[in-house]
Structures are given as structure tokens and as C-alpha cells.
Structure 1
Amino acid sequence: MDKKYKHFETAVIHHGYDSKQHAGSLSVPLYQTSTFTFENAEQGEQRFAGEADGFIYSRLGNPTVRVLEEKMAILEGGEAALAFGSGMAAVSAVLLSLTKAGDHIICSQGLYGCTFGLLQLMEEKYNISHSFSWLSNEEELRQLITPQTSCMYIETPINPTMKVIDLSMVAAVAKEHNIPVIVDNTFSTPYLQKPLELGCDIVLHSATKYIGGHGDVVAGVVVGSRERMEHIRGTTQKDIGGIISPFDAWLLTRGLKTLPVRMDRHCENAEKIFSRLKEHKRVKAVYFPGDEEHPDFLITQKQMRKGGGLISFEMNGSKKDAQRFLNALQLIKIAVSLGDTETLIQHPATMTHSVIPLANRLEMGISDQLIRLSVGLEAWEDIWEDLKQALDSLA
């Protein structure tokens, strides 16, 4: 955290923006421009050569975007950050920047469906292989490392099974082999978990989710060392071009200001809903990192501030029963995103993870009865009343 602001809640509002540099505007100005003018030809030459600071073209940098990047860097405890047009633009830029044909990636056993699809594409087109692991202990991890292993890619908590990975353990083993560790921190946000402070090298977000928080923007963010971020900025971000728009960056800086308040409420509501789901007769199992009986609870306590706002649960019955339950909901919306003010619910096997072959899905723990619930900011009593009436309707 920046020494200027000792507390997260203050830094998230004030860091990265000085109103004196923007005509006294309290709100971050929206620099809705594609290009920037030079005072003379020599200045243009110097900027392109990297010999002078200043903006050139919004694909290469923009003042509104820069404020977002500086905020995210300090909040995650990194040196620099990059903003992208989607979470998958961020994932692909990072993985492509760290790999070449013939390389190998170690992954957590369970990934977002589109990340899985990207890994499949990279293997088919560029012979970049990948291995899945529960990453439960050092010995298991060491056995997967080969001379071709170029990076490790981890979700924690894993989407949608909520398994938690010990990041300090993974980072320690990876450093023995000089292998960078990438962590998808979307579910936790920097308010609940800081992978870089646990020894990992790159952290990324689908900023569409909790960072934005209002369901009105699609974006991604990557944070790491200045050297690594500049390398990505000058290669895969610049040349593939998955950049964020200034307006979307503006929306994210606005959303960030309320992140701590929102996350506290998401977590409090999730704790209330979890305890009631666990007791309902139509629910076979509940997966929530804040559960004291969760197999990874000790890891959660070590590296997360709270259990988060996501809950997954398995229902008794069949896929049809799970779909009947979803269709009976009245307040809660069926949608595949998360981290919004509204409570959202979805069926991973046929939605977010439908691209994953059945055998792989089952190995990851994604059954036809699994439901993922993103607990929103409504009164928890209203959320539970809707869940309960839908569950009871199946009796």
C-alpha cells in the first residue's frame, strides 16, 4: 500500500489521481480521444522512441485509463498495471507473452470455461501444452514441472468449485525453478486477497465483476512488476490490441471507490445464505471458502480477509431438477456474471463451463447438479426467501 495512504479504504478513493492536474475536477475526466497531438515533430519522434513521456495514441495509453491502472497497481501491491477490454483479453495477453511454441503451463484443477478454451487453442495451434493439478502439496507440484514449463496459472477460489489454493506454497516452489505464477484474483479482489504479497508474480481480474460492481462494463486488469507490465504493454497488448475504452476505464474507477463497502456486504450476505443453504433438505453439499468445515478453510484464513461473496452448491436430483429450481426463482436473476449489486445465479455445466468436455468437467468437480450463486447487495432475508421458495417448490 502506498505510504501516503495507510488504509485500503482511503487508497481506493484517492490514490492515482490528483485533481490539481485536471483543472480541479473532483471526478476523473473522461479523455474520449483516439489520438494525441504533438507540439512539434521532434516531440513526436521522442515519444515514439521512448525518450519523452506523454501520450501518443489511446491503444498505447490514455490518461483516464492510466488512473485506473495506477489505482489497481497500488491496491494489489504491484509496481504497474495494464487495463484490457475484457478479462479474457487480459488472460490471453499474459499467457501469450509468457509462452512460445513447445512450452508447458501448469494450471489449477478447475478454470473458467473460456480460459480452458484458450488453453486448448494454444495447444492445437502452437503446441503449448498444459497440465491440471489440485496443487495440494509441494510434491504434487514438483512432479508436474518440466524443462518446458514456462508459467503456472491459478484460480483461487476456483470457479465454480470454490477450492482454495495455497499461494505461498505454490509461489515458493515456482521460485525454485524461476517460473512465474499468475493468479486470477477475480473472486477475491485485492480487498480480500493479495497474491503478489504472497510471492506470486502476476495477478489478473475480470474487472467486469467486483471491480466494476454494477454490471455495466466488460474489462480486464493485469498487475505485476513494472518490467513485466511494460513488456506486455509493448507486445501482446499493443500488437493484439485488446485494450479498454476510456469510458469503460472511467466506469471502473467510479466502481472502485465503493469496493470495500460492497465487498463487506457481499461477504456478510454470503455468510447468512451459506448457513441456511447448508441446512436445506434439497441441498446435498455447499461449497463456500468461509465454511469452517471447508477442506481448505485454514488456507482461506491464512490468505483471505473473508470468505467472499460466491457460493456453489449441489442439489439433490437431476439436471432437470436444477433447472426447475432456477426457473422457480423470482427475485434472483439467472445470469453468468458475478460481483454485481444484484444476486445472480447460473448452472456451470450448461453455461460458463459448457465448453469443457464432460470428462474434464467431472474431474474438476462440476456436476449437472452444481449451482453457482453470486450473492448480491439486497437484504439477505429477501435473497434467502427467494432461494427457499424455489427449493421448496421441488418437494
Structure 2
Amino acid sequence: MKKTPLYDNHLALNGKMIEFGGWLLPVEYTGILEEHRQVREAAGLFDVSHMGEILVRGRDAGAFLQELLTNDLSKAPDSKVIYSPMCYENGGVVDDLLVYKYADDHYLLVVNAANTDKDFAWIKDHLSGHVEAVNVSDAWAQLAIQGPNAEKILQEVTDFPLSGIRFYSFIPDVMVCGVQAMVSRTGYTGEDGFELYIPADKAPKVWESLLELGRALGLVPVGLGARDTLRFEAALPLYGHELSAEITPLEAGLGAFVKLDKDSFIGKDALLNQHNQGLKRRLAGFEMVGRGIPRSGYDIADNGSRIGFVTSGSYSPSLGKNLGLAMMDSRYCQPGTEFDVIIRNKAVRAKVIEIPFYRKKYRK
């Protein structure tokens, strides 16, 4: 198993370690529900150093990424972060990722941890023009601070005016806790927050300083368990669940990030065809009417006939309900439509509701 530079810090905090995508990571410290609520009400600090980073540079880097990704990077200014799926020719998803644009010839791709090697191989196989791709994942550590107090806490350890960083933007060089960092404002929780990209060997210093200085404002370390319930409530996709090689971004409700009017990109023909024919299935949110928690992979049925499957499901700590996301027959996706979730061979009633389940009002 791989370990992040903060492995010993997690043990010192009594983090419960589990295997995730080939990494040993903390699933919780004091408890998933408590950590979840702390992020919603104050702030949480996440170790996301397992995420992959791939540097793409060269004169033709922009044109190469335009062909590789479904989103449109052509009008993106420097210091902008762009979210995009990366697809196979058949429209299935290789990965979903963030593109950090430093300049027209300089980009950093942040990819899902378990997909880093696969993504890097895919990128190398499709290189064209004057472009270089380098997997720099081992050089970086990544911390995320999320929650309503995130800006106030982080401002305590930097002189840079954080209020000037707009949503989905970044600043390449910011001193944080005396360490040079790249600071962005994206997040994966439904709350405001920042990501800190720092040299791997500096991660313990920044982690410890933030937790110490932020304690008075409610900052706590948060594990993978609450990270998942937080992103789930905000209906943010998780690769391998709402997205996969078998699920297209259009089916996953990510049409806003698929620019079918671009000249070309890998997977365009398949996605355009799917768009023109109409989606036979798509992602929908639901709440349980009967008792039971829906889990990933559970079948969804109507009168005994399978109409889809659960992609993610959980008790929602913020809403106090058992909720789920499902890939299902489009005819059943209207809010209020009822169906059955098959839980341990028993049909339990559920109904479609709008997503995201949780919507926080904060400045973007």
C-alpha cells in the first residue's frame, strides 16, 4: 500500500486507516457523522495527497488538451481551473479531472488517485505535436480545507488576500505557514474552501500548523468517510460510481462540461449520437420511503422489472434522511416517481427527488 507524507500524522491523531485505491488513508478520526457536521458548521482539513498530478507542457499543449477533453479550454484565462471528463472513443469515461491553466503552454491535470497510472498511460498514448507529459504526483502533497470558516482560518497563515481568489481559480505562488504553495478554490464538499498544493516533504509542517491555529475556529481533521458523505449530499460525481468506462458524462448529468460544438475531441461522435437520439438512462436522486439505506450496486425495480441501479447511497447527516443516486431508465427520473430499491432481496419503496440534495449559499 502507498502512504501519503502525512501517514504518521494520521496515526498520531488515532486515524482509522483503510485501503483506498491502493493507498492507506484515514476513513475517520472521531467519527464520520461528527466530522461531517463540523465541515458543514465550521471547517475540516483533508489529506488528499493521494490524488494524481500530471504536468502537460509545450507549444501545442492547449490544442492537445482540447482534443483529449470534452470541455472547452480555448477561452480559459491563465490561473483558471477547468473541470472536464476525459472520454474513450465510445463515450465512456477514462476519468474526470481538474485542469489548472498556468499559461497556453503549461497545464497541471489533477486526476483521481486510483486512475493516475491509467490516465498517464492514456495521455502518453495520445500525445501529438510539441507536448510533454510528466507524472509529478510523488512531488506534491495536497491538503483541502473546507467549510464556512475555511477562508478565515487559512487567512491566519498567509499574507495573500484570499478573498481575491475566485471560485475555480488559483494562485501559483502563495506563502502558507512559511511554505510556498499553489492555492486554489474548488472543493468537493458543497462548501466553500481551498486546496493547497505543497512540496511533499513540507506537508507535515503545514498540516500541524493549520490544525493548531484553526482549532479555535472549529477546524478538525476529516477522513474519507465524511468526505464521501459530504460530496454525496452535494451530488458531486465519484469515479467508479456516477462515472465509469460504462457511464457517459451525458448520462451522469454532466452535459455542461461536454462541449459538442467543439471541432473535435475523443468520444465526440459517440456522445453527439447519444445526445441526438436522447438518453435512455440518466442519473437521478431519490429518497427512501421505506426503511433501509441504499448502497452502491443495489438494483432498482418497478413491478419486479429492473430499471437501474444505485450508484451511491447513504444516510444524509445534514438532512436526516436515507438518500441515493441512481443510474436508471429516463422514463422514471421525474421528481415524485416511485420505484423499489432491492435491499437484501427485499423491495423497499423510494421516490425521485431533485439533486443536489444539499445546496449551500456561498460566494462564488
For normalisation by structure 1, the TM-score amounts to 0.29
More strand by share: 2
For normalisation by structure 2, the TM-score amounts to 0.31
